Structure 1
Amino acid sequence: MKLKYIFIISLFSTAFSAQIKKDSIRQVEQINLLVKKKLLERKADRLIFNVEASIASQGMDASETLANVPMLKVDENMGSISITGKSMVSVMINGRMLNLSGNALLNYLKSIRSENIAKIEVITTPPAKYEAQGNSGIINIILKKNPNIGFSGNINTSLIQRTYSGFSSNGSLNYQTEKFSGSLKLTHYDSAKRSDENYSIVGASQNYSNSVRRDMWNELTPTLNISYKISKNSEIGMEYIYAHQKSGMDIVNTTKNITSDHKEENLLTHTFHREKLPTHTLSAYYDLKLDSLGKKLSIAGNFYKNNSDTEVNFSTLRSSDNSVQDVKTISLVSPQIFSGQADLELPFSFGTIETGVKFNQFKNNSDLQYYNLNGGAYVPDYSRANVFQYQEENYAAYFSFAKSFGEHWETKAGVRYEHTNAKSFTPSTGSGNTYNYGQWFPSAYISYKEDKNVFSFSYSRRINRPSMGNLNPFRWYSNPYSYSSGNPLLTPAYINNWELGYTFNSKFSASVYYLRMKNAFGQISYLDDLSQVSNYLNYYNNNFWGLNASYTDTFFKFWETSLSLNASLQNSTVFNIEAQTQKGSSFSYSINNTFSLNKKKTVALFLNYSHSLPYRNVNSYFYDFPQLNSGLKVSLMEKQLQINATVTNIFAQRYRGNLYFADNTQHMDNYWDGRSFRLSVNYTFGNSKKKINKKNIKFEEKERAE
């Protein structure tokens, strides 16, 4: 009888425990549903956008996701990503700088799904740990850790229709064990667009130019990534990227030139431009955990090289005597970059210390040969040929200290020192330049959090070094009379950036900033008889006062909207040119809307509108630019299959602007095939058993190779 009671009591106890366990699981599930990730988080040195908390950012690629982030602007027409009210920014993936810009960068980002992105960090005043290079800030895309042991993968294909049809495809295959992680990714895109560019220079002489151009890109890029955990405290890894790129332009240009004594000359030029650009990137790293408290040593090395082989043929008809001039240019450009770095992270009870050293070496050799067609044979013209050699070495060291005071205060301060040795040489003229300079780059941050309010203040000093293309005196001819070139005498610009930020309830974000830029450089165009010449100069200093504000919320459970605006005032001074600057201002706003069309939120419609009002900057004036984008997103098979259809720049807006100089006014009116239709299909497959860490390697210098 006692055994019977014991059995009944035991059975009841087991059932009761099981019920408690089930109730506990339900409670945990309910808590998980209630406690969602905050959309926006403000840290001492950055603003964080949690992609998982945004309905609008689901079922799309990384470039589209960036467009949903407050303060960021993605412009496919210009091939640019920028912080609203400021200039273009650098893009990192898990702390690794991408050597991509323009359409190449956007195409790369289109191969990353938003479901694989954990968060996006907007760093408007980068701390000492990061390169001081760059005049605006850094976007750091943090990917989720790969959850798959065994095989997994992803296949994506897209069709884009502009004036011409194009497509892109990419696929990845991953294999992971407890210690080994390997992935092979293959990307291919083949696309084209039509551009219509108009540029005029009106002064004592006048020049009117119109170019109708077909731009073409074709690229096949395999990427291999391998890592291995030697022990629980150490890991090694490498990444190799080979990009087999081809690009081309077919251009028809008409130019009318009117001299000061009213003589008119008309030129008609047909241009055939083809470029091969094989690129190799090799990166390796070693990570060592020094203790269980988080102290870590990281060592990394990077190597980058490409060989740009370009042939341009152009034929120019001159109206005054009906003569035809046929010209061919052949150019070889071979930039090479090596970098090595060591970073030490030391968390202590009194605060966290970060310190490290870095060495970068840039080399670039370029050779341009110019040929005139004479008697059926191409004859070299050595007076227009150009050979240029450039080498730069950067040595850097940094130190920073971060400390939190209770639950409310977070502080961080650091300093970075960079010393640069640079030299350039032009064998044909025997001329060269040598630069040696060292600079300190301090940074400081403080934030205060109280309930739903977060306040922050940040400061950093940065440098904007000219790229190799900016420095190269290499002449890129558009016809026998007109060309653009770089300037080996360019010197860096320096930027001081102060910013005061505020975030409320993880939905509203605002920042007030002041940016002081000294010795800034840009491209200047002028007339020299029949020639339209473009060159780079250091020519202005700038003061910017700006305001960014955004608000994101969900209404009626199916409508997520995000509103943002930017306003700025600026004044400038110029040197090395004769121009009258004016006090400038700008104002822009955007409204992004996503509507879930079913309860499961697997079908969504989005409608986005942005408008930049006319604005002035230095000696330029730009007309307003409104833009409307819309599309439909469908998720099937528990989000394994996703289909997106998007229409951009529905009203086919044009970019227009004026530049004012003492002796002439210049006007641009351009259309870069902005209206497009894109249809993309993405399928994800694989196991999902256990999370595995994946390391990404920093290589911040590669973008300057362009």
Structure 2
Amino acid sequence: MKKLIILILLVCIHGYSYAQVAKITGKVVDSKSKSPLSYVTISCRDANNKIIDGTVTNEKGEFILKKKPKKKVFLNFQFIGYTTQTKEIELNSTNLNIGVIYLQEHLTNIDEIEIQAKTTTITQKIDRKIVNVGNDLTTAGTNAFEMLQNVPSVDINYLNNEITFRGSAGVLILIDGKPSNLSSSQLLKSIPSSTIKSVELISNPSAKYNPEGMSGIINIILKKNAIIGFNGSVTTGIEHSKNTRLNTNLNLNYKTGSFNFYTNYNKDWGDLETDYHLNRNDKNITQFLDHLDKYSDHNFKIGADINLNKKNTLSLYTSQYFSYSDFYTNGFIHENNALKLHTPNLSVYSYSESAYNIDYKLNLDDKGHSFEIELNYSINKNPENSTNKEILNPNSKLYNYNNNITDNRNTWLINLDYTKPLAKGKLELGVEARIHSTFNQILTDQEIAIATTVNTPKGNTRFSYDRNIYSGYLNYNKDFKKFSFQTGLRFEQFNVDGLFKNTQQTTLDNYSDDTFNIYPSAYLSYSPSEKNQFQASYSNRVNRPSIEQVTPIQEFTSPYIISFGNQKLTPQYTNSFEVNYTRSLTNGYLTFGLFYRKTSDKIGKNITLNQVDKNIQYISYQNYNNSDSYGLEGYASLKPTKWWTFSSSFSLYIQDKFGLLNNKQTSVKNTVFRANISNNFKISKKLKLQISGLYKSKSEGIQFTVSPFYTINAALKLSILKNKAAIKLRASDIFNTLNYTFSSTNPYSQNGHYILERNTLYLEFLYKFGTNKSKKRNRKERDKNETSGGLF
């Protein structure tokens, strides 16, 4: 009896051991550098090659398989650029640690691999959406500003160069995690879309990011070379519509095991025309403005990444941007069908920005324990010289005046970041200093009004605006079972001084502010299965007035529209909430999201009329009431067949807008629907076709209502010379429908439209040269430039 009981117990214990979930653990590293490989795909198969379980390695190269496997299994370790390895495992216990798996790199001919995704895809991370822009053919020959029109939830306005995210302005634009002194539109227009790897949409940025940007952050990630030896590419293209424009791009790279040197140069030049037409219905006044921009843009960057040893890395680069433009404006104002005013004007612009960056990183171990320091300095100069004429009829009186405008900006940025991995988590600490200095000056012989409605003989003025921001952050994240969470705090001391003088150094106005704020953020992610993920987040943001919103120096959009800033503007603060859901499908995936933003001290426009001439409008800014903004968005990517990939996105958002029209406070509840559709067809191995479309519903502002519009684009790509070269042909706005039509009833009845050169045909030739050997980096290395700390 005793032996029988013992036998039964042994059988039960044996059965219980196999009833438990057996854990297989281990670590995957590079065979040469011994550094951990993250995102290695691991599949667990039985003797019949049936998949039992699967996973990927974490940032430390570690993995855990938790499913109940058979007694004998085979583990496959797969990673791009490395030889696949298979390991046979005998399970003699509940848990088994198989130790370290060493993967060997292999060199692959670049013609045989696709470095970039074929189509745009979206990845939902705990604190951001990553849009991998892929080889979208309809963006060939465009710049980053135009490319953003294809990114879900992002809108661009060709009229005022404004970028909105989920219907709201105040978005912060970063390039590889770094800001620029250039305006957002200037910065994005200087970057060819072909150099962009991905776009990060960070609606609720974590504590390690600068809290500026009411609607969030758009971070443009540029491509980095992964090819051993000397390699490069050259691209040239021509675009034609009413006028002709050309572009050329050269990329050179030399990479060894511990050293990477790179340089690239891009040039765009040509003529771009815009026609503006405005009708005043109450007085039968018609205004025509023809703009012709003869421009030449140059963008140059040179840099190096140096692995001093396994623990120390040094990176440095400089980028130089120059833009020259002769901007012709030919204006006609008719009243009762008779010419009242003719304004043939010429403005000469010369923009430049020089940036210098050095970054040092110390890896304290191979598990992600690190210290990093970065120093960045940039200087921006935007001089403008304009010669203006006003020809008055019927007496043909000629009135000439000249404007000489100076706009100089300097920025110092210093970051120190510390990262410490903890048990299934990570702690991040950092400090940052941002020192901004801006100087504006206008020298003119025009009779203008200095932020008033009283004319003065001359408007020669100077405006200096200095902003210093000192901050520190604390961020902690942790994974447990099917949950992940992240929380953080950012502390900021903000100092600003503004001084407005005339050229005789007489102070006309001044402003200063000194505030301290704490900005919290929190994230929670839940993955009940490999196919489903839920995510929720919160952040507190600030949108400080831009230099354009505070400078008292006047800008003449037309003889009847005069703009100037308001130094007394205060920052607007936003509490932002959102939830997202992602579902993986057999042939694609779906993602949906809801968001809500509450903004206090909302900044809006203040539009008043000249007391002497009611035809003249003054546009400025001021703070208003609290504002709500909410909406939903979705994205789907499907592959119905091997030759057809379909993707679509939509967004519906509702927001409160406030403003002052002729001393009367006005509010608008703006509801906007937006949808993008893209179809990619693989006609043959060498030939691909893409057709895409965009629709945007009516949009209401404080003064104008913009009519709905849509646009259709198509493009072809033919690979030649054994895939070393390609020819692309793109037709944009095929039906010539991307024109802005608007109307208004306040302060008087008016309507009009902008006609843009968007109906274009573009032809491009691309050629790649070099050693054609690709050494794939691990995910950690590839993502290094996706911002690693308090780098804004």
User: Which TM class, normalised by the smaller chain length?
Assistant: 0.7 to 0.9
The letter for the 1-side match of 2:178 is R
Decide which moves more: 177-186 or 192-201.
192-201
Distance 2:347 2:790 in 1: 28
The letter for the 1-side match of 2:414 is G
Decide which moves more: 446-455 or 174-183.
174-183
Who wins on radius of gyration, i.e. which is larger? 2
2:438 matched to 1:364? yes
> Using a 3 Å threshold, how does the CA distance of structure 1 residues 571 and 81 change in structure 2: closer, same or farther?
closer
> Using a 3 Å threshold, how does the CA distance of structure 1 residues 120 and 427 change in structure 2: closer, same or farther?
closer
Q: Which residue of 2 aligns with 1:254?
A: 332
SS in 2 for 1:561: strand
Q: Which residue of 2 aligns with 1:351?
A: 425
**1:195-594 to 2 correspondences below 5 Å:** 195-199=274-278, 208-256=286-334, 266-319=340-393, 321-371=395-445, 383-406=458-481, 408-428=482-502, 429-430=506-507, 431-451=509-529, 452-477=531-556, 483-505=562-584, 507-528=589-610, 529-530=612-613, 532-540=616-624, 541-574=626-659, 577-594=663-680
Q: Which residue of 1 aligns with 2:214?
A: 135
SS in 2 for 1:427: strand
Distance 2:77 2:521 in 1: 47
2:762 matched to 1:674? no
Instruction: State the 1:110 CA deviation.
Output: 2.1
State whether residues 582 and 619 of structure 1, in contact with CA within 8 Å, keep that contact through their aligned partners in structure 2.
no
The letter for the 2-side match of 1:635 is S
Distance 1:556 1:294 in 2: 41
Q: Which residue of 1 aligns with 2:46?
A: none
**Structure 1: gaps spanning 5 or more residues:** 1-22, 374-380
State whether residues 341 and 358 of structure 1, in contact with CA within 8 Å, keep that contact through their aligned partners in structure 2.
yes
Give the CA RMSD over aligned residues: 3.6
Distance 1:154 1:473 in 2: 46
SS in 2 for 1:112: helix
The letter for the 1-side match of 2:674 is S
2:219 matched to 1:146? no
Query: Can you list the C-alpha shifts for 1:216-259, whole angstroms capped at 9, x where unaligned?
Result: 3212222111222222111122111122221221111123579x
**1:156-175 to 2 correspondences below 5 Å:** 156-175=235-254
Instruction: State the 1:360 CA deviation.
Output: 0.9
Decide which moves more: 394-403 or 536-545.
536-545
State whether residues 172 and 212 of structure 2, in contact with CA within 8 Å, keep that contact through their aligned partners in structure 1.
no
Distance 1:138 1:475 in 2: 29
Q: Which residue of 1 aligns with 2:720?
A: 636
Instruction: State the 1:98 CA deviation.
Output: 5.2
The letter for the 1-side match of 2:549 is N
Normalised by the size of structure 2, how large is the TM-score? 0.76
Report how many aligned residue pairs link the two structures: 659
Distance 2:774 2:342 in 1: 64
Identical counterparts, % of pairs: 23
Distance 1:485 1:439 in 2: 29
Distance 2:727 2:590 in 1: 31
Query: Can you list the C-alpha shifts for 1:288-339, whole angstroms capped at 9, x where unaligned?
Result: 1122221111111111112222110111011254311011111222111111
The letter for the 2-side match of 1:441 is Y
Q: Which residue of 1 aligns with 2:32?
A: none
SS in 1 for 2:294: strand
Query: Can you list the C-alpha shifts for 1:651-700, whole angstroms capped at 9, x where unaligned?
Result: 32321233554x43554421222212221222222222535658649699
Instruction: State the 1:50 CA deviation.
Output: 4.5
Distance 1:496 1:634 in 2: 48
**Structure 2: gaps spanning 5 or more residues:** 1-75, 87-111, 448-455
Distance 1:227 1:645 in 2: 35
Query: Can you list the C-alpha shifts for 1:465-522, whole angstroms capped at 9, x where unaligned?
Result: 1222222212223567753222222222222211111111161111011112222334
Q: Which residue of 2 aligns with 1:13?
A: none
Q: Which residue of 1 aligns with 2:127?
A: 45
The letter for the 2-side match of 1:449 is S
> Using a 3 Å threshold, how does the CA distance of structure 1 residues 58 and 322 change in structure 2: closer, same or farther?
closer
Pick from 676, 690, 711 the counterpart of residue 627 of structure 1.
Answer: 711
SS in 2 for 1:237: strand
Instruction: State the 1:353 CA deviation.
Output: 1.0
> Using a 3 Å threshold, how does the CA distance of structure 1 residues 213 and 141 change in structure 2: closer, same or farther?
closer
Distance 1:168 1:307 in 2: 24
Instruction: State the 1:444 CA deviation.
Output: 0.8
Distance 2:714 2:377 in 1: 41
> Using a 3 Å threshold, how does the CA distance of structure 1 residues 274 and 145 change in structure 2: closer, same or farther?
closer
Distance 1:433 1:462 in 2: 23
The letter for the 2-side match of 1:248 is D
SS in 2 for 1:470: helix
The letter for the 2-side match of 1:542 is S
2:729 matched to 1:645? yes
Decide which moves more: 151-160 or 639-648.
639-648
Q: Which residue of 2 aligns with 1:5?
A: none
Distance 1:678 1:278 in 2: 27
Question: Which one scores higher on RCO, CA 8 angstroms, separation ≥ 6?
Answer: 1
SS in 2 for 1:664: coil
**1:20-39 to 2 correspondences below 5 Å:** 39=121
Distance 1:112 1:699 in 2: 24
Distance 2:188 2:394 in 1: 44
> Using a 3 Å threshold, how does the CA distance of structure 1 residues 320 and 154 change in structure 2: closer, same or farther?
same
Distance 1:371 1:581 in 2: 38
State whether residues 184 and 223 of structure 1, in contact with CA within 8 Å, keep that contact through their aligned partners in structure 2.
yes
Normalised by the size of structure 1, how large is the TM-score? 0.84
State whether residues 443 and 459 of structure 2, in contact with CA within 8 Å, keep that contact through their aligned partners in structure 1.
yes
Instruction: State the 1:583 CA deviation.
Output: 3.3
Distance 2:787 2:609 in 1: 43
Instruction: State the 1:174 CA deviation.
Output: 1.3
Distance 2:323 2:789 in 1: 21
